Amino acid sequence: MKFPSLFLSISLIFLGSYSLSSKDNKPSASAETRVESILPTAPESGSPWGDDASKLESISILNLIDEKNSQKRWQDANKEYSTAIDQFELGRKTIEKNREESKKEVFYEDRYEWQKQIRRENKEKEFQKQIFDLRSQTVAKLIKGMNLLDKIENPKVKESAPYLDLKSGIYREYIKHQEAFKNYLQVIDFTERYMELSSKNEAEAEPHRLLALSYEKMEQTALKSKNQELYYEFKELKKKHLLRFAEIHYGRESKEYAGIEEKVGKDF
């Protein structure tokens, strides 16, 4: 995938160290993540960002195009998307089942509590590694789906609902896994791309919640790197998406919106 120049500059800047020039305006290095304390921790009910990802039926789009390979690429991308969803859900359930079963196991050789604790911790590390590997395999399938869609160049197809719906679905799943990996630059990049696909996507609350959280993480990274310019840029972007989330999720006339607007006004 090709990344915008902004993200290349950010990555390069974090390799160096720059000094915050103003002592009076110097932010506190001890500041903790605060966005999580005022936002919901999960997508709203009925959101396409929920745990149950929506799959798309294989449909004909030949009437929209004059490129004979477009339909096959769309169908292949849809297959990668559907397989990624199914395999991750099946794998996740299997890991959860094994985790619950492991809690019932008794090892009589563990006479002391510290021995039992070590065994539990080691077992949990195994499960975390399995989830990590499962996510990595899922991401690989989603990237394959993205690449297949990117090979479709026909303008009519790229503007069609089947194309936009499938690309949106792939992006959503990809973003969820990148958030789990704590790859916040990837979350930001693909959430911005997701919203650019359609006005419907931009009008969803969840992308703005994810962006507010991710920009705050990057804000703290910029602070640790002593980069004043990026610190304030990320802070403004965080506030922008906080307000947009509150507007969509709560409504501009709500007390929740007023509360978040007040925090933003106080340079939250």
Q: Where are the domains of the chain?
A: 67-183, 204-268
**For residues 184 and 41, what is the distance between their CA atoms, to the nearest angstrom?**
16
Average pLDDT over the chain, rounded to an integer: 83
The token duo for 100 is 């619950």
Is the predicted pLDDT of residue 44 greater than 90, yes or no? Answer: no
Least Cα distance to 235 among 257, 191, 267 occurs for: 267
Give the Cα separation of 108 and 97 in Å (integer): 23
Q: Which of 5-19, 100-114, 173-187, 249-263 has the highest mean pLDDT?
A: 173-187
Non-local (6+) Cβ contacts of 162 within 8 A are 56, 59, 61, 64, 74
Of 70, 16, 6, the closest CA to residue 233 belongs to: 6
Per-residue pLDDT band at 34 (split at 50, 70, 90): confident
C-alpha span between 224 and 96 (Å, rounded)? 36
pLDDT for 52:
60
CB 165, CB 56: distance < 8 Å: yes
Which of 24-33, 66-75, 173-182 is most confident?
Answer: 173-182
Cα 174 from Cα 89, distance rounded (Å): 14
- The per-residue pLDDT for 20 is 42
CA dihedral 125, 128, 134, 136 (to 10 degrees): -100
**pLDDT tens, position by position, 97-150:** 999 999 888 888 888 999 988 989 999 999 999 999 999 999 999 999 999 999
Q: Residues 246-266: what's their mean pLDDT?
A: 90
Q: How far is CA 262 from the centre of its chain?
A: 27
Separation between Cα atoms, residue 178 and residue 91, nearest integer Å: 18
Question: Average of pLDDT values for 232-241?
Answer: 94
Residue with tokens 């802070």: 235
Q: Which residue has the higher pLDDT, 116 or 188?
A: 188
- Rounded to two decimals, the pTM is 0.81
Burial 236-253 (b: 16+ CB within 10 A, else e): ebbbebbbbbbbbbbeee
Q: State the number of CA atoms in the 13 A half-sphere of 81 facing the CB.
A: 28
Residues of the chain with pLDDT > 90: what percent?
58
Whether the predicted pLDDT of 72 surpasses 70: yes
Query: What is the biggest distance separating any 2 CA atoms in the chain, rounded to whole angstroms?
Result: 72
Query: Residue 51 has what pLDDT?
Result: 64
pLDDT at 16 over 50: no
Please say if the pLDDT value at position 71 is more than 90: no
Q: Is 155 left (phi over 0), alpha (psi -120 to 50) or beta?
A: alpha
Over residues 74-99, mean pLDDT: 95
